Copies of this chain bind each other. A is one copy, B any other.
Amino acid sequence: MSQMQQVETQLRDMILGLDLGPGERLTERWIEARFGASRTPVRAALLRLETEGLVRRDGRNWIVSPIDLAELEQLSVYRQVIEVAAVRITCALADRSGVDVVEALLLSCDGETSREDWHRAGMDFHIELARLSGNDFLHRGVRDAMTRLARARWLEVRDEGARDRAWAEHHAIVAAVRAGHADEAASLVAGHIQGSRSRLLSSLREERRGLRARGFAVVAA
């Protein structure tokens, strides 16, 4: 694997894992030293992460993208649009056997599963579900949206109840898709995303002070 890809993935992991706080300044030279690469791959990685929305420019400088509540709201609307469209397309397919793979993602989580793995499986569920549509743009759209949402979801305070409810909704979606019930699947997906959105945003709005105190830039809606 080339150094550029190494820098890119490691930096992405640090950002998504909140090792680098939202709003934190990044210097090319710090990254260079941190990962033992030269500036060329570092700059390439930053350019790619910029298009993913994980990093952005602040004047001449680089910063880790702040958490922007308005952006999260728009993102949820976008997700709702494309995920609903994706399941509708999937329901219209003759071969929907791919749902098994998606269901396996759900079944892989139980009481022993770490918080990290729940988090990842939650993202992958939506990404893989969209992939079943066979439309790369819907798939990539969901993937990009989930990437941008990842840090916020990590920050969200979730009770176990919410997690179990989300998992139940995921199962219901799988069942509807498997049965090919497009309208039902669409409304389940829409409702699920709507619910995630309101929980996420209200949680973040409550937590906002505490997060800023931790040095995390959280931009209001």
The digit string for A43-65, where 1 denotes a CB below 8 A from any CB of B, is 11001100100000000000000
Q: List 19 A-B contacts (CB under 8 A).
A: A43-B44, A44-B47, A48-B51, A51-B51, A71-B136, A74-B134, A74-B135, A74-B137, A77-B89, A77-B135, A77-B137, A78-B82, A78-B137, A78-B141, A81-B82, A81-B85, A81-B138, A82-B82, A141-B141
Q: How far is the CA of A136 from the CA of B40 in the complex (A)?
A: 31
A7 within 8 A of B: no
Answer whether residue A75 sits at the interface, using C-beta atoms and an 8 A cutoff: yes
Given contact pairs A40-B40, A141-B141, enumerate 17 new A-B contacts (beta carbons under 8 Å). A40-B43, A44-B44, A44-B47, A47-B48, A48-B51, A51-B51, A74-B134, A74-B136, A75-B137, A77-B89, A77-B135, A77-B138, A78-B82, A78-B141, A81-B81, A81-B138, A137-B145
Instruction: Give the chain B neighbours of A134 by CB distance below 8 A.
Output: 74
- For residues 86 through 136 of chain A, which have their beta carbon under 8 Å from a beta carbon of chain B? 89, 134-136
Q: CA of A35 to CA of B113 in the docked complex: distance in angstroms?
A: 54
**The residue from B47, B71, B75, B137 contacting A47, defined by CB atoms under 8 A apart:** B47
| Interface of chain A: mostly helix, strand, loop or mixed | helix
Determine the chain B residues whose CB is within 8 A of the CB of A43 once the complex forms: 40, 44
Looking across the interface, which residue of chain B has its beta carbon closest to that of A141? B141
Number of copies: 2
A162 to B109, CA, bound (A): 54
Residues of B within 8 A of A138 (CB): 77-78, 81
Chain B residues in 8 Å Cβ range of A75: 137
Nearest B residue to A144, CB-CB: B137
Q: Closest CB-CB distance, A135 to chain B, in whole Å?
A: 5
How does the 8 Å CB contact mask read for A25-55 relative to B, with 1 for contact and 0 for none? Answer: 0000000000000001001100110010000
Closest to A89 in B: B77
Chain B residues closer than 8 Å to A74, beta-carbon distance: 134-137
A77: B residues at CB distance < 8 A: 89, 135, 137-138
Instruction: Please indicate the chain B residues that have their CB under 8 angstroms from the CB of A145 in the complex.
Output: 137
Would you list the 9 A-B pairs with minimal beta carbon distance, nearest first?
A78-B137, A81-B85, A51-B51, A47-B47, A74-B135, A77-B135, A74-B136, A74-B137, A44-B47
